[in-house]
Structures are given as structure tokens and as C-alpha cells.
Amino acid sequence: MAEIRSGRRDRAEKERSASARPQPPRPAAAPEERKRSNFVAESWAELKKVEWPGQSQVIQGTIAVLIACIVVGIFLYINDQVWQRVVQKFLLGQ
């Protein structure tokens, strides 16, 4: 008796699946378009995670960079002047 019932169920499921209309395929987005939109979405998500500096931190960082640039610039200028004299006196004999 159980075999008859399961057979009926199987037939009923087959009839339902056969009578169901197949869904028309959706037009797939171009792969490059999906890549771009995925990139933008991921970039936006990463930007939300960023802890942005406050105004005082930006000012302090800017001042630190400017001081470092000035110190390195002075060092390079002095180094250039020293090597200029060394080259003129010893290598060129002037």
C-alpha cells in the first residue's frame, strides 16, 4: 500500500513539474559591467570602514611633512655644496 502512495506522489510531482512553465532566462549583465559595479560596491564598503582623521590630525601631519621636507632639502643642499667643492678642487684641479 505504501508503494502505491509513493508512486502516486511521484507521478503527481512529475505532473506538477511538467506543467510548470519554465522561466524565461534573464538577460545577464555584461561581465565587465558586473565587475565595475562590484568594484564600486566593494570600494564604497571599504570607505565606510576608514577612520578619517580630524582637522587637528591633518594639520599636525601636514606640518610634520613640511618640516621633514625642509630638513631633507637643507641636507641635500649642503651635501651638494660640499661635493661641488670636492669635485672642483680635487678632480678638476681648479
- pTM confidence score: 0.49
Looking at residue 10, its pLDDT comes to: 66
For residues 1 and 75, what is the distance between their CA atoms, to the nearest angstrom? 98
SS (H, E, C) 22-52: CCCCCCCCCHHHHHHHHHHHHHHHHHHHCCC
Looking at residue 51, its pLDDT comes to: 93
Number of Cβ within a 10 Å radius of residue 68: 10
What is the CA 74 to chain-centroid distance, rounded?
Answer: 37
Looking at residue 62, its pLDDT comes to: 98
**Dihedral sign, Cα of residue 26, residue 29, residue 35, residue 38:** negative
From first to last of its 94 residues, what are the pLDDT tens digits of the chain? 555 555 666 666 666 655 556 666 665 556 666 777 788 899 999 999 999 999 999 999 999 999 999 999 999 999 999 999 999 998 888 7
* Environment class of 18 (CB within 10 Å of its CB; exposed 0-12, middle 13-18, buried 19+): exposed
Looking at residue 93, its pLDDT comes to: 82
